[in-house]
Amino acid sequence: MDDITHTTDLAALQTLLGATFNNTDLLLSAITHRSYLNEHREATWEHNERLEFLGDAVLELVVTDHLFKMYPEKPEGELTAIRAALVNTVSLSAASEALGVNKFLLMSKGEAKDEGRARQYILANVFEACIGALYLDQGYDAARDFIAGRLFKHTEEIVRKRLWQDPKSRFQELSQEKASITPTYETISQEGPDHDRIFTIGVFLRHEKVAEGKGRSKQEAEQQAAQHAIAAKGWGDE
C-alpha cells in the first residue's frame, strides 16, 4: 500500500465488517472502483471486479442453501424469485449503506458524484466484492456468516409480503383477493421524442383510477403504477 490513509481506513472498515484480514490488499481491492485506478496510475492493487465476480457466486450459494433449508415445501421457481428479491441491487446497496461502506469507496471524482441508481450499483458491487475478499482471506464459513448477518433477516418479510413478486403481479393478486377485480392499465400520456419517450400509465379497478406511473417504456410505467397502487390501497404492509 502506498498511502498511510489506506491503512487507517482499512482498520476502520475491518471493524465494520467484523473481520481482521490476513491480506488487507484483498480488502483494499474490494473497495476500489475501476475508475480510481484510471486516475491513480501509481496504485499497485487491483480494482474490485474480479472479487465481485467471486463474491456473487458465493452469495448465490449461501442464499440458495439458506432458502432450500428454510422452505422445504416451496418449488424451485418460487425459491428462485425469493432469492432474486433478497440479493437484488436495491437489497445489496442497502446492506452496504447500513454497514457504512460508502465512505470507504475509492473511485474517480466523476464517479463519486453519481447518485441514485448509479450509486446503488456501485454499492451493491462493493458488497459482493467484500464477500469475495472475505471468502479468499477467511474461507467459506466467514463469508456465510457475514451474509447471514446482513441479509437473512429480510427473508421472512420478503416471503410474508410476497415482495419476490414484481409489483404488477402482486397488485393483480391482491386486487383479485380483496376486490374480486382484475386491474387494467391505460396510457394517460406520452411525452418526448421517439428516442427519449416518457409514458404515463394509469392503473384502474373498473372505473376507479387507483394510481399512475411513469417510465421509458409502457412496461416500466405499468410496474411503477402498480407499486403506487399497492401503496395507495394500503396493501403493502399486509
Active site residues: 56, 128
Q: Which residues pair with residue 200 across a beta bridge?
A: 189, 214
Strands 184-191 and 198-205: antiparallel
Q: What is the DSSP letter of 180?
A: S
- Alpha helices, H only, the chain: 4-17, 24-30, 34-39, 49-70, 76-86, 89-99, 109-112, 117-138, 140-151, 155-160, 167-179, 218-233
- CA torsion 159-160-166-171 (nearest 10°) is 160
Q: Which residues pair with residue 215 across a beta bridge?
A: 199
Q: Which three cell numbers stand for residue 177?
A: 383477493
CA distances from 115 to 122, 123, 235 (A): 10, 11, 30
